[in-house]
Structure 1
Amino acid sequence: MGSLLNVTFVRLVLLLGTLCLSQGLKHNNRNVTSARQGKLFSLFNIVSFDNGPCQSSSSVGSGTNGNRNGTCYTANECIQRGGSSSGNCAAGFGVCCVFYLSSGGTTAQNCTYLRNDNFPSGLSTTNGQSFTINKCSCDVCYLRLDFLTFSIQGMALTDEIMGSACVDSLKVTSSSNEPIPEICGQNSGQHIYVDMDRGCSGNAKLDFSFTGEASTRIFEIKATQIECGSRSTPPDGCLQYHTNLDGRFTTFNYAPMDNLHLEDQDYSICIRQELGYCCVQYSVCPDDEALGFSLSKGVIADNAYTDSECATLDFVGIEGSSSACRQSGVPSTVFSRYCGQKLNDYTTAALHTPICDCSPPFQVRIFTNKISDIEDDETNTKISRGVCFEYTQIPCN
């Protein structure tokens, strides 16, 4: 608001200055011409505005609502920095400058969109693409990657057995050396946080690898840098971070109905506790109860299993949880792992039940291994799609 008032004041000053100069022309036309030029030059010099975020006129598209974000610069600054002007900001004195990086490369510009060559068309080559994001400021600690569009080849096989790895892959690394799982498949709408380490030289790298010919590879990833101590900063160890009172999350590559969840995953999805809320309740997504909890399927995991029974299976970890949502006092029995085909704290149960966690911080661990989901020569005819959870924060008593 302050910036708009300053710009309005400057416009008023310019108008008054022009009127005064116009009146002065009646008295001394020759001298006033040069004086007018000097005064206008000095008045324009005092126009300034913050290089803050702005919403551009460029639509994200691809089924995602909203427009791309940019940074408010003058038109010349936008060109010099390699951005694209898309709409106005600062009451018309600036342009909303959007930054794109295609076919790989390096950038230190906040809010950069990483895209495949020839976007929005599919990738026409199998050559790998690598992107490097350097800190735009020493105050930055995290990088958030939003997968606005993400479609690359997924798992090699249609049943999860030993060696069923990604055909294509995205590997994210950072200067902090935090472990980040390799992902592939369909992940539009997903996001991850990357620890960029402290200090001024931190960075993050995204390496895409492609195998074989395919016409469906396409991606656009929004890379936003987050200052240390920001309310948007996730707790340590959180690959994903949700900040609403309720919402939904899924495992990677959950979107296609005929594909599998990814193997060799170990990461945490975290929920920010809001003031006045003491518990989080998790439920299998009601619109996909058949496959919404299908990490380990086959002969040994048709129903619900917990804790030690999940030792050799893929599982979801929710420490100190149970179906009893008790805020005062710990339930008599709590669990830390859930696996099988049904989400339930009652072993061999054949129905889903909501699971409640009243012991913050609120984290859900996703763990999948490379061990076969089938036994001996049995054929796994059931799809191990992964996990789809809805969460709701419960108010304190």
Structure 2
Amino acid sequence: MHSTKLLLFAAFLEIICGTGAILQFSNSTDNFNSDRGRRLSFLRPSIFNVVRFSNDECYDGGNQSGTCYTPIECKTFGGSGTAMCANGYGTCCISSLFSKSCHNTTSQKVVYFKNPSYPASDNQQNYCDLSIDVKDADICQLRLDFLDFQLDPPTKGRCLGDRLSVTASKLATNSIPTLCGLNRHSHIYVSVPQDANSKAGRSASILFVTNNNGAYRWHLRITQIECTKMSDLNRVQKSFFGFIPEAALKVSLPAPQGCLQYYSTASGVIESFNFGHYLANMDYAICIERLPDTCKVVFSSSIADWAIDKNDAYKDTAGVGDIQCSNDYLLIPGGSRDGEGPTFDRFCGGKLSYSKSSQEPAPVVSKANGPIVLRFHTDNQLLTQNNLGFRVQFTQETTNCQSVSSNIVSNSLSVASLSAPVLSGYTNFQNTNENLVLRSNTKYLRLK
């Protein structure tokens, strides 16, 4: 998510700096990257309170949706603000630039895509698409957040009715799985790699195909992600402070290459698409950034939140390893009772447990090198039972870190083992050491 910074003069502090040091403040708001940076030369700088707020969706008094910007930014976008947001620092800017429905094209770096009658549902047969034009050379990914997503359910694991398809230039066909059913609060990343040998623009297409068999609605937030700049900023912040500041976490981070989903928090919940009836022909990576002071990740799931088809007659017991989980499985690298050997990768069955054929769920611990890469794989068989999917809680922990295994192969191999369509179109991100971060009153600035 892109964000806005406000600079509030607070006090002066004696700081000895080299002559000619430059303090750069930049707003990462739509289409204004290059011309909105401000450079202030100083010898003894003023200390600023930096108020940074995300350009989130907001609503005015009439329940019309807008995007939170400063009043000056809103005026620049040709919008009008009728309600405050961001604790009074922003205004809820109403502009057609930020909200789109069917058959539209946009180059805005943050845009919301909704069915025509949203927040109400529609039920007509429709072909509704949004084209995203990528103009900034530093953009290499899109993040699609499913704020609301209710389509027809799959038929025996396949999206034969309502469905979402996402394609992008220079991205292999079928790189992004077709989705349907219920996927509220989920997300995906879409690669839009730059081609140095081509002057053609880059674009992505988001297409909903719907029928008239039932009500449907969707509400997506699409964010263009600046990969090099954000990678640099996060890397320097980590090395300087040992963590990424909370304000930076509110900005969409680039996902590691090959990851359809990405989590950068200490804990969270990961859920299969259309949880309750998982989809056939899935093969994608879910990545978790390992925090620097942690040594293991604990995965747990209740009885009501786990059921993945198993290769024997005992469907309700835990499945572990290649023999029991050869067709449908969630891959957790180096999983075991405590993260030490012997370890397993594939988990399925009626319970999540490190113990084969267990009748009770039990946490699975991984001490594999980060980032942790999970892989959800399903075959093309028509699913009729044991098809709930997974809802897994993960927690990164710092306890008992003295005996971290060194013999667990880095789970980056898990990404490499994915099929070619999953990996096609992803590129490595080049980092350059250009930015330094200055902290003042727990706010973060970039020095160059």
Report the equivalent of 1:25. none
d(CA) in 2 for partners of 1:143, 1:77? 24
More off after superposition, 52-61 vs 166-175: 52-61
Q: Does the 8 Å CA contact 2:269/2:394 hold for their aligned counterparts?
A: yes
1:205 correspondence with 2:208: no
Output aligned runs, 1:172-187, within 5 Å: 172-177=166-171, 179-187=175-183
Deviations 1:353-386 (A, max 9, x none): 111111122011111112145xxxxxx5x55211
In 2 relative to 1, CA 128–86 (structure 1 residues): closer, same or farther, beyond 3 Å? farther
Report the equivalent of 1:168. 162
Output aligned runs, 1:231-380, within 5 Å: 231=234, 232-254=253-275, 259-284=276-301, 286=302, 289-290=303-304, 292-296=305-309, 299-310=313-324, 312-325=326-339, 331-359=340-368, 360-373=370-383
Output aligned runs, 1:70-219, within 5 Å: 70-72=68-70, 73-74=72-73, 76-79=75-78, 85=81, 87=83, 96=93, 99-157=98-156, 164-177=158-171, 179-198=175-194, 201-214=201-214, 216-219=215-218
d(CA) in 1 for partners of 2:92, 2:348? 52
Between Structure 1 and Structure 2, whose CA radius of gyration is higher?
Answer: 1
Which AA in structure 2 matches 1:353? A
Which AA in structure 2 matches 1:274? L
Which AA in structure 2 matches 1:267? Y
Q: Secondary structure at the match of 1:277?
A: coil
Which AA in structure 2 matches 1:386? G
Q: Secondary structure at the match of 1:131?
A: strand
Report the equivalent of 1:391. 394
- Percentage identity across aligned positions? 27
CA deviation after TM superposition for structure 1 residue 54, in Å: 3.9
d(CA) in 1 for partners of 2:74, 2:322? 62
Report the equivalent of 1:376. none
Q: Does the 8 Å CA contact 1:307/1:336 hold for their aligned counterparts?
A: yes
CA deviation after TM superposition for structure 1 residue 115, in Å: 0.6
TM-score by length of 2: 0.64
In 2 relative to 1, CA 319–59 (structure 1 residues): closer, same or farther, beyond 3 Å? farther
Which AA in structure 2 matches 1:151? Q
d(CA) in 1 for partners of 2:146, 2:60? 15
- Higher helix content, 1 or 2: 1
Report the equivalent of 2:238. none
In 2 relative to 1, CA 314–59 (structure 1 residues): closer, same or farther, beyond 3 Å? farther
Deviations 1:39-75 (A, max 9, x none): xxxxxxxxx998995456417999xxxx864444555
d(CA) in 2 for partners of 1:92, 1:391? 35
TM-score by length of 1: 0.72
CA deviation after TM superposition for structure 1 residue 86, in Å: 5.3
d(CA) in 2 for partners of 1:93, 1:347? 54
Q: Secondary structure at the match of 1:197?
A: coil
Q: Secondary structure at the match of 2:149?
A: strand
More off after superposition, 144-153 vs 52-61: 52-61
